[in-house]
Each structure stands twice: as C-alpha cells, then as structure tokens.
Structure 1
Amino acid sequence: MYKIVKKKTINSQVELMVVEAPFTARKCEPGQFIILRVNEDGERIPLTIADYDREAGTVTIIYQVVGYSTKLLSKKQEGDYINDFVGPLGQATELKKHKRVLGIGGGVGAAPLYPQIKKLKSMGVSVDVIIGGRSEEYIILEDEFKEICDNIYFATNDGTKGTKGFVTDVLNDLLEQGNKYDEVIAIGPLIMMKAVVSVTKPLNIPTGVSLNPIMIDGTGMCGGCRVTVGGETKFACVDGPDFDGFLVDFDECMRRQSYYKEEEDHVCKLDGIKNKK
C-alpha cells in the first residue's frame, strides 16, 4: 500500500498527487513512468513521473480525470492509500548537455516535460519552454517552469493566455525571430507532436517525443503499446516512452489510439463521465 501525502487540484480536470514510494523515488529518472492500481480489483493505469524527491521518498504524478479508474483515483484524499504503485518503468530520457533546448508541452503533456527540463537546467543547459492548453485554465505547472526556464511562452486556443493559437504558432515565431535550438522536446497529444515535427524536421532540429499508447502490463508482454519507429516495431513501455520524433509513424499511433474509443465512451457513460479525450 502506498500513502498519498499530498493532493492538489490543478484545474477542473487535472489533479496532482505526491505518493510515498521510496524505492521508485530512489531509482527513477526523467522520462520514466509508473503503473498503479487504485484498489486490488482496479485496472492498471500508466502515469508518467512528473517529479520525485529521493530524500523524502516521494513520487509526484499528475493525471486527468477522464474515465472510470481516474475518477476512482480522484476520490482518494491525503492520508489514503493506493493499492499498487509499480516503477520506475520504461527507459529514462537520454538528455544531452546541449547549449540550448526548447521544451513544448501540450495540456497534461507539460507534466512529463517538467522533470526533463528540470534535469537539463541542472546540467547547465539553457532552456526555453512553450506551454499550450485550450484556455488559461488548462495551462499547468506555470510557476514550476518559471523557476527553471530562461524563457517561457504560452499558447491557448481561445487566446486567454499568451498567443491565440497553437504551440506550433509560437514555435514558428521563435524560429523566424532567429532563435537557434540544439534540440526540441515535445510532449502532448499525438496531433500536437506530429505538428511540431512537421516544423522541426525540414529544419533538421532533433526532436524527441513521448508516446503513451494503450498499455497494460508495462513489461512488453501484452503488445498493446506497440508503435512503429523508423519502420521497426517498438514497445513504448520497454523501448520508450521517448522516441526520435522524426522516425515515429504518428498516423498509425493515432489510428491505434482510437481502437477502443467506443468501449471507453460506453464505460464513461455508464459512470456518468463525459469522455474528453
């Protein structure tokens, strides 16, 4: 059993939990994830590690309440316990000591982006960040990024914060202004990461992305998280979740992600939840 030592509501859909998990905290690195079960009968939920404190033995997770299991998780409060909390899983992100890196986070994708940017900053890398969301309400971790970034930019669909438009609009503006980046790290919805790569690839700016396909066991056994990268089949849970964005078959990923949408919608309706994926 794993104790919830802190819980915070970030916005109407997104919550943060700090969980007492000393083994995971001792071993984890940016880019890795955990799999939890809220109770002994629950489904396995993969969530990227948003932060960790080795001394305190805690791991921070950020999740969007979009379905049955995340709603169960949301009902947990500080002092309650989570049945299973397994990790770290996946490969740690290979972070290089570049001169300047641009991070791009869309929606809850800002959560797994944060530990990577934090680590890069500790390595002496100059880091800029673009954070996107549907509106100002859905911009997350703004204060945390401001503490570690050299420059931070925002993009919202409705223009309530920063540029009205998409993260790619800000990206194009920065590049047109003459900003040079050794690497771009983009984490968010598949369509967003694909759009970022469509900008960076013609300019040959190396771009890392993080994939979160359907995942069950986290060990490569089930095959549900298979993705095509560079024409080869990879498993996001053991080979990723981070990959070279130039090599990812995003169209296939998006098709596979929608395979069980009808079933997901059915479960959400039964539980009175509107599926907002």
Structure 2
Amino acid sequence: MFKIVQAAFIAHGIKRFAIEAPRIARKHKPGQFVILRLYEQGERIPLTIERSEPERGIIHIVVQSAGKTTHLLNSFETGDRILDVVGPLGKPSEIANFGTVVVMGGGVGTAMAYPTAAALKKAGNRVISIVGARNKDLVILEHEMAAVSDTLLLTTDDGSYADKGFVTDKLRQLIDNGTRIDLVLAVGPIPMMKAVADVTRKERIRTIVSLNPIMIDGTGMCGGCRVLIDSKSEFACVDGPEFDAHRVNFEVLVQRNAMYREAERKSMEEFRREVDSKLTSVRQELDQLSATSGGQR
C-alpha cells in the first residue's frame, strides 16, 4: 500500500498527489511514469511522474478526472492509500545540451513536460516553453514552468487567459520570426501532438512526442500500448513513452485509443449511478437523523 501524504486540486478537475514511494523516488528520471491500481479489482492506469523527492521518498503525480478510475482517484485525500504503484517505467527522456529547445505542454500534458523541461534547462539549454489549455480554469503549473524556462508562452483555446489560440500558433510564430530551434518536445492530446509534428516536419526540426496509449502491465507483455513507428510495431511502455514525432503513425494511434471508448463510457455511467445512489442513501439517512433530532427537542 502506498500512502498519499498530500492531495490538492490545482485546477478544475485536476489534482496533484504526493505519494510515499521511496524506491521509485530514488530511481525516477524525467520522462518516466508509474502504473497505479487503486484496489484489487481496479484497472491499471499509467501516470507520468511530475517530479520526485528522493530525500523524502516522495513522488508527485497530476491527475485529470476523465474516466471512472481517475474520477475515483481524485476523490482520494491526504492519508488515503493506493493499493499498487509500479515504476519507474519507460525510457527516460534524452537529456543533453541541444541548444534551443521548445517544450510544449497541452492540458495535463504540461505536468508530463515539466520534469523534462527542468532537466533540459539544467543541462544548459535555452528552454522556450509553450503551455496551452482549453480555458483559464484548466491552466496548470504556470509558475513551475516559468521557473525552468527562459521564455514561457501561454495560450487558451477560448482566450479566457493569456493569448487566444493553440500552442502550434506560438510555435509557428517562433519559426516565422527566425528563432533557431534545435529540438521540440510536445506532450498533450494526440491531435495537438500530431499538429506539432505537421508543423516541424516541414521545417525539418527534430521533434519528440510522449505517447500515452492504452496500457495495462507496463512491461510489454500485454501489447495494449502497441504503437506504429514507421511500419514497425513498438511498445510505449518499454520502447517509449517518447518517440520521434515524424515517425509516429498518428492515425493508427487514434484508432487504437478509441477501441475501448464505448466500454469506458458505460463504466463511467455505471460509476455515476453508483455515486448518485450512495448520495441519495446518505441524504435519506441525514434526513432521518434530522427528523429524530428535531423530535427529541
């Protein structure tokens, strides 16, 4: 069992957890992830480590409520325990002094990009970070990203905060303004990463994306996280999660990620019904207690 030592929402539906995991904290490197299982019959979900504190034996993860398991996890509080936390998994990010690196985070992908941005900055790179979100309420880690970047550019889809537009708009502006870019790292929704790859392919800028496909065991045995790189199948859990964006077959990735969408939808509906039923039961119990208390007075 792994104890949650701190839990707090940092944006709408997005929660940061600090979890006691000494071995993982000691061995973690930027770009790696863990697989969590909340209870015995629960599903396994991959989550990138935002940062680790080896001296305290703590890892930090950021979770956005999306499906049943993430909604359930985000109901956990300080002091609660998670059944399994396995990791660190995956290959670490390649860290070297490349020159000028653009680090791009879309939505909760910013939490995945942050540790690599910090390591790249420490390695002597000029780091330009571009952070995007759908709206103001979903912007995360703004100050943390600013602290590890020479320049931080922010966008929101609806213009409710910072500049209206997409992260690719800012990338295009940098290129059009003559900024020499030696490497791009993009982490976020699949359409965002594909759009980044489309921009940089034309400019022949080396681009890395971090993929988070369906994943179960994290060791390459199940094959659930299979991705097509050029014409070769590779596994995101052991060969990645980072790949050359210009070699990723994004169409196949989208198709595979949609395989269990209907099952996920039904699971979420069932979860909501269970929650509603429990809330109704609690309300009825409270009403009865209130009535009893009122009668005694």
Q: Shared fold (TM-score greater than 0.5)?
A: yes
Aligned residue identity for 1:176: D
Q: Is 1:148 the counterpart of 2:148 in the alignment? A: yes
Aligned-residue offset at 1:162: 2.3
Whether the 8 Å CA contact 1:155–1:165 is kept in 2: the answer is yes
Aligned-residue offset at 1:230: 2.1
For 2:88 and 2:3, locate their aligned partners in 1 and report how far apart those are by CA, in whole Å.
Answer: 17
For 1:256 and 1:131, locate their aligned partners in 2 and report how far apart those are by CA, in whole Å.
Answer: 27
Uncovered stretches (5+) of structure 2, i.e. residues with no partner: 274-297
Alignment of 1:239-250 (within 5 A): 239-250=239-250
SS, match of residue 220 in structure 2: coil
Aligned-residue offset at 1:155: 1.3
Q: Could you tell me which residue of structure 1 aligns to residue 231 of structure 2?
A: 231
The list of structure 1 runs, each at least 4 consecutive aligned residues, that deviate by more than 2 angstroms after superposition, is none
Aligned-residue offset at 1:263: 1.0
Q: Is 1:209 the counterpart of 2:205 in the alignment? A: no
Whether the 8 Å CA contact 1:114–1:145 is kept in 2: the answer is yes
Whether the 8 Å CA contact 2:95–2:123 is kept in 1: the answer is no
Aligned-residue offset at 1:121: 1.1
Greater helix percent: which structure? Answer: 2
Q: Is 1:123 the counterpart of 2:139 in the alignment? A: no
Aligned-residue offset at 1:186: 0.3
Q: Could you tell me which residue of structure 1 aligns to residue 281 of structure 2?
A: none
Alignment of 1:34-45 (within 5 A): 34-45=34-45
Aligned-residue offset at 1:70: 1.4
Aligned-residue offset at 1:181: 1.1
Whether the 8 Å CA contact 1:163–1:170 is kept in 2: the answer is no
Aligned-residue offset at 1:42: 1.6
Aligned residue identity for 1:91: K
For 2:64 and 2:140, locate their aligned partners in 1 and report how far apart those are by CA, in whole Å.
Answer: 12
For 2:189 and 2:174, locate their aligned partners in 1 and report how far apart those are by CA, in whole Å.
Answer: 21
The Cα RMSD (Å) is 1.1
For 1:223 and 1:229, locate their aligned partners in 2 and report how far apart those are by CA, in whole Å.
Answer: 14
Alignment of 1:64-213 (within 5 A): 64-213=64-213
Whether the 8 Å CA contact 2:68–2:267 is kept in 1: the answer is yes
For 1:203 and 1:265, locate their aligned partners in 2 and report how far apart those are by CA, in whole Å.
Answer: 39
Aligned-residue offset at 1:80: 1.5
For 1:186 and 1:147, locate their aligned partners in 2 and report how far apart those are by CA, in whole Å.
Answer: 19
Range that drifts further, 153-162 or 109-118: 153-162
Aligned-residue offset at 1:71: 2.0
Whether the 8 Å CA contact 1:5–1:79 is kept in 2: the answer is yes
For 1:197 and 1:72, locate their aligned partners in 2 and report how far apart those are by CA, in whole Å.
Answer: 34
For 2:228 and 2:86, locate their aligned partners in 1 and report how far apart those are by CA, in whole Å.
Answer: 26
Aligned-residue offset at 1:217: 0.5
Uncovered stretches (5+) of structure 1, i.e. residues with no partner: none
Q: Could you tell me which residue of structure 2 aligns to residue 53 of structure 1?
A: 53
CA offsets per residue over residues 83-142 of structure 1, 9 Å max, x none? Answer: 111100111111221111000000000011000001111111110100001011111100
SS, match of residue 246 in structure 2: coil
Q: Could you tell me which residue of structure 1 aligns to residue 21 of structure 2?
A: 21
Aligned-residue offset at 1:66: 1.3
SS, match of residue 29 in structure 1: coil
Whether the 8 Å CA contact 2:132–2:154 is kept in 1: the answer is yes
Aligned residue identity for 2:10: I
Which is higher, the Rg of structure 1 or of structure 2?
A: 2
Aligned-residue offset at 1:172: 0.6
Number of corresponding residues: 273
CA offsets per residue over residues 196-222 of structure 1, 9 Å max, x none? Answer: 011111111100001111101101011
> TM-score scaled to structure 1, two decimals?
0.96
Whether the 8 Å CA contact 2:109–2:188 is kept in 1: the answer is yes
CA offsets per residue over residues 21-42 of structure 1, 9 Å max, x none? Answer: 0000111101111011112222
Aligned residue identity for 1:87: G
SS, match of residue 170 in structure 1: helix
For 2:11 and 2:162, locate their aligned partners in 1 and report how far apart those are by CA, in whole Å.
Answer: 18
> TM-score scaled to structure 2, two decimals?
0.90
Identity over the aligned pairs, expressed in percent?
46
